[in-house]
Amino acid sequence: MKILIIENEVYLAQSIATKLSELGHVCEMCTSTRDAIKSNNYDVVLLSTNINGQDFNPVIETFKNSIIILMVSYISNDTVSKPLSAGAKDYILKPFMIEELIRKINHYQDYEKLKKENKSYEKYLAHSFLTLTEEYSFDNLDLPLFISSSYQKIADSFAFKYAKYQNLPIHFITLTDIKAMDEIESITENSLIYTIDFQTIKKSDRKAFYKLIKGKKIIVSSTDRIEDEDLKVLDIKSENNIFDQGEILPIEEYVKFIVLNNQHKFPDTELSKKLGISRKSLWEKRKKYDIIKKK
């Protein structure tokens, strides 16, 4: 990582830089906040709050996309509370062990990585569920809940939207995993469990599964119809019914579904190419199926 050390005690700054460099980090030093804000291309900024007469807000604003860790000699409103409120991530009290500083740096680096990954996954899921127009009501929903839908993505959409609605972390588990039962048992009650592939569980093993999930916040998905009358089952069919027919679909029905659900994402040239037909043929199919292209 590229690390900037803002410290007016030169000997201390050099000592920190030497130890971090030995661990493979690239370190630069400066003794004032005015010099520090000339560049903002750093992964981590170690900011000493002992520099008298310096305004730390411009530094924190300049490096708002970096991990800022305060190096303080004493804890006060000015040295800790205000900089943290302005955007610094954490502080470490001088004198400190370099191992503790490294632990904090690694912690926040992992945290920022997870935030970026989580944002990417949320965007991907939103994009993946874009073609699903089903609306759900989560009021008075009791768990455990079983969902039966021959189109897996519909059950996925329901579970992830419910987790967001309840502001709960979600654990995804496939029941084809040999460790699935142990994982379900270990998850605390403050999380939502979403399991798929219920249809793969043998009927002789289902009684033990029902006992395992009793009292847990869990949504169980099956692509087969669930016949057990004692279970709370939500049977969801896709709006277009194309995946709920339980049989091989005619080519024309498939084409109709693809056009309906993808014409807002691709221009006609690309959509017709993906379907292996001409633009004229695409226009004719819209006319045949009375499909109106939304502008």
Whose CA is closest to 149, among 242, 246, 248, 237?
Answer: 237
Peptide bond into 83 cis (omega under 30): no
pLDDT tens across the length of the chain (295 residues) = 899 999 989 999 999 999 999 989 999 999 888 888 887 789 999 999 888 767 788 899 999 889 999 999 999 998 899 999 999 999 999 999 999 999 999 999 899 899 999 999 999 998 888 877 777 888 888 899 999 887 888 899 999 999 999 999 999 999 999 999 999 999 987 899 999 999 889 888 999 999 999 989 999 999 888 877 788 888 887 655 555 555 556 677 778 777 876 777 788 888 888 888 898 988 888 888 777 765 5
Structure confidence at residue 159 (pLDDT): 94
Segments in 63-179 forming alpha helices (H): 82-86, 98-128, 152-166
Whose CA is closest to 246, among 237, 258, 255, 257?
Answer: 237
Cα separation, 41 vs 4, whole angstroms: 9
**Sheet containing 44-48: which strands, arranged edge to edge?**
26-30, 2-6, 44-48, 67-72, 90-93
Residues in CB range of 293: below 8 A, 6 or more apart: 263, 286
- Tokens standing for 239? 């709006």
Cβ atoms 217, 246 nearer than 8 A: no
Structure confidence at residue 117 (pLDDT): 94
- Tokens standing for 95? 């004198």
Structure confidence at residue 70 (pLDDT): 96
Structure confidence at residue 114 (pLDDT): 93
Cα separation, 55 vs 37, whole angstroms: 11
Structure confidence at residue 248 (pLDDT): 59
**Sheet containing 233-235: which strands, arranged edge to edge?**
170-174, 192-196, 218-222, 145-148, 233-235
Peptide bond into 95 cis (omega under 30): yes
Cα separation, 90 vs 79, whole angstroms: 11
